[in-house]
Amino acid sequence: MKNLIFFGAPGAGKGTQAKKLAEKFNLKHISTGDVLRAETANDTELGVKAKVFMSKGELVPDEIIIGMVEKIISGLLDKNGFILDGFPRTNPQAVALDSMLEKYHISISDVLFLDVPKEELIRRLSLRADIEGREDDKNSAVIENRIKLYQQKTKPVFEYYSNQNKFRKITGVGNIDEIFNNILTIIN
Ligand code: AMP
């Protein structure tokens, strides 16, 4: 299996690149944000719980997210592999991911980080608000909170994967195909 993790701040373009990679290598794209938005739209128990956090730009509690991801991954063991987009976002999530992967005798091949400066992130998020209409992209205080939490909680996870020698940084500014080609060079 080829199992990848995509890191990047909100608006870094990880969803776009993850979709392209998933298509090229026939991998399952797992966006925890998309899964949560679907749960919220369907008013499921999980969706109702998650909405409280998502609408404020807070992180959904680790135990909720970890259970949700394990359910998805355990259904993919006979497939080519997966790309995690938006998970793990905290150190406890990264540790829980490793223990679940160990249980299933699989592992992460590469961890990709799309690096984009903050001013560019804010510009892209306000464009996306107009195009996709996501509630959490429309409010500048919510955007700031998401970027702040990314700095505080998610950036420390980079070290976890550097220590495993899996962390690869890619410049996330430029045209989509150029960035995609840089990603291909790195993972091949
Ligand atoms: P995203 O589409 O990845 O930006 O995620 C949208 C929102 O879903 C985030 O702002 C969080 O509230 C929640 N979320 C998605 N993934 C996670 C995660 N791994 N841990 C905690 N909250 C998450």
The pLDDT value given to residue 135: 87
Coil, helix or strand at residue 129: helix
CA of 180 to the centre of ligand 1 (A): 23
**Which atom of ligand 1 lies at the shortest distance from residue 93's CA?**
19
Residue-wise pLDDT for 132-186, tens only, equals: 888 889 899 999 999 999 999 999 999 999 999 999 999 999 999 999 999 999 9
Q: Cα-Cα-Cα-Cα dihedral of 156, 157, 160, 163, to 10°?
A: -70
**Confidence at 126, pLDDT banded by 50, 70, 90:** confident
The token pair that represents 147 in the structure block: 């970027």
Residue ranges with strand state E in the chain: 4-7, 28-31, 82-85, 110-115, 167-171
Residue-wise pLDDT for 18-33, tens only, equals: 999 999 999 999 999 9
Distance set, CA 94 to CA 48, 82, 124 (Å): 25, 16, 27
Q: Which residues line ligand 1 (CB under 6 A)?
A: 10, 32-33, 36, 53-54, 57-60, 65, 86-87, 89, 93, 136, 146
Residue-wise pLDDT for 92-118, tens only, equals: 999 999 999 999 999 999 999 999 999
CA of 90 to the centre of ligand 1 (A): 11
pTM of the model: 0.96
Q: Between β-strands 4-7 and 28-31, what pairing exists: parallel, antiparallel or unpaired?
A: unpaired
Residue 97: CB atoms within 10 Å: 21
The pLDDT value given to residue 78: 92
CB 68 within 8 A of CB 35: yes
User: What does the H/E/C string look like for 7-58?
Assistant: ECCCCCCHHHHHHHHHHHHCCEEEEHHHHHHHHHHCCCHHHHHHHHHHCCCC
